[in-house]
Structure 1
Amino acid sequence: MPDITQQLYLWIQQIQASAQTGLAFNPNAYDRERYEEFLKLAARMAATVNGNATLDAQLADALAQKWRAEVGEGIPGYVTPKVGVGAVVFNERDQVLLIKRVEGMWAMPTGWAEVGLSPAEVAAKEVREETGMLVTPLRVIGIYDVAKVRGDFNPHFYSILFYCRLDGGELRPHPVETQGAGFFSRDQLPAPMSPHILARLELAWKIHRGEASPVWFDQ
Structure 2
Amino acid sequence: MSNLLEFARELAAIGQAGITYSKDPYDRERFVRLREMAGELLALPDYSPDFKWPDEIGYDTPKVDVRAVVFRGSEILLIKEAATGLWTLPGGWADVNISPAENAEKECREESGYIVKATRIVSVIDKERAGYAPNANAIYKIFFLCDLIGGEPTTSHESLGVGFFDIDALPPLDPHRGREVDIRDAYARHLDPTLQPVFN
TM-score using structure 2 length: 0.86
For the pair 1:118 / 2:99, whether they are aligned, the reply is yes
| 194 and 45 in structure 1: CA distance in 2 versus 1, 3 angstrom threshold | closer
Could you tell me which of 152, 155, 160 is aligned with 2:134? 152
Alpha-carbon distance in 2 for matches of 1:134, 1:33: 49
Alpha-carbon distance in 1 for matches of 2:5, 2:45: 8
Larger radius of gyration: 1
| 118 and 48 in structure 1: CA distance in 2 versus 1, 3 angstrom threshold | same
Alpha-carbon distance in 1 for matches of 2:180, 2:19: 41
Runs of 4+ in structure 1 over 3 Å off: 49-52, 192-196
For the pair 1:202 / 2:184, whether they are aligned, the reply is yes
Structure 2: gaps spanning 5 or more residues: none
Q: Report if aligned partners of 2:79, 2:88 keep a CA contact under 8 Å in 1.
A: yes
Q: Report if aligned partners of 1:143, 1:217 keep a CA contact under 8 Å in 2.
A: yes
- Offset of 1:132 from its aligned partner? 0.5
Alpha-carbon distance in 1 for matches of 2:74, 2:135: 35
Structure 1: gaps spanning 5 or more residues: none
1:117-149 CA deviation, whole Å, 9 max, x = no partner? 100100110110001001110000000111222
Q: Report the equivalent of 2:31.
A: 35
TM-score using structure 1 length: 0.79
Amino acid at match of 2:88: A
Alpha-carbon distance in 1 for matches of 2:39, 2:113: 43
| 125 and 143 in structure 1: CA distance in 2 versus 1, 3 angstrom threshold | same
- Count of residues in Structure 1 that have an aligned counterpart in Structure 2: 197
Backbone CA RMSD of aligned residues: 2.6
Q: Secondary structure at the residue paired with 2:34?
A: helix
Q: Report if aligned partners of 1:143, 1:159 keep a CA contact under 8 Å in 2.
A: yes
Give the helix-richer structure, 1 or 2.
1
Alpha-carbon distance in 2 for matches of 1:157, 1:136: 24
- What pairs up with 1:159-178 in 2 under 5 angstroms? 159-174=141-156, 176-178=157-159
Alpha-carbon distance in 2 for matches of 1:121, 1:32: 37
Alpha-carbon distance in 2 for matches of 1:44, 1:201: 37
